[in-house]
Chains A and B, each alone.
Chain A
Amino acid sequence: QKEVEQNSGPLSVPEGAIASLNCTYSDRGSQSFFWYRQYSGKSPELIMSIYSNGDKEDGRFTAQLNKASQYVSLLIRDSQPSDSATYLCAVARSGTYKYIFGTGTRLKVLA
């Protein structure tokens, strides 16, 4: 079992729809969770971090964390073609800055 699992996609959604990206992790000692966006040929860009169970909203993005079920998700509302990218989930244990990255989900927003 991989430490951090994501569906590789591609996940295709129409413009204006909600895109839902999911990530599961295996280490129950994980305390910090991050979502990054990576455009082709570019480096990852931090979208959101989440540390507590529940939802965290920032603009069109909402991160959801459920530690009991060991999953974290990212919702993108009103998806735009410019949101088309690979979304990376990253997880870290308490007391470490070292992240374990998933392999990423490729999102395509269709105009």
Chain B
Amino acid sequence: GAVVSQHPSRVICKSGTSVKIECRSLDFQATTMFWYRQFPKKSLMLMATSNEGSKATYEQGVEKDKFLINHASLTLSTLTVTSAHPEDSSFYICSAVAPSNEQFFGPGTRLTVL
């Protein structure tokens, strides 16, 4: 399968700071990437669709000014959680659409906001 990486895998930050998470497709180009979050023992929740060269499309209830998404190249999308608060603590996972039209997921980033 196609390989997607995420960095960092784990981050702990203080309340009020911003955190940037990178998602890279390593062996293919991805016009479309997705960002999800998942709380413990809960299902995946789609946050936004990231399209290379255009603005991200956010799901209902997701604040675009809080979760900034940039998809500047065909292999990289970034999610920045701005002014993070403890309720933003979660498991953030990206996925990239491969040429096979299948989504492949990154390993996820566990964010803890103190």
Interfacial residues, chain A to chain B (CB-CB below 8 A) = 32, 34, 36, 42-46, 49, 88, 90, 97-99, 101-104
Contact = CB atoms under 8 A, between A and B. Distances in A.
Given A49-B102, A97-B32, A97-B101, A102 B108 contact: no
Interface residues of B, number: 18
A46 B105 CA distance: 8
Interface stretch (B41-49, B61-69, B71-79, B80-88): B41-49
Contacts, number: 40
B34 A43 contact: no
Given A32-B101, A34-B102, A97-B103, A42 B43 contact: no
A103 B42 CA distance: 7
B103 A101 contact: no
Contacts of A44: 44, 93, 105
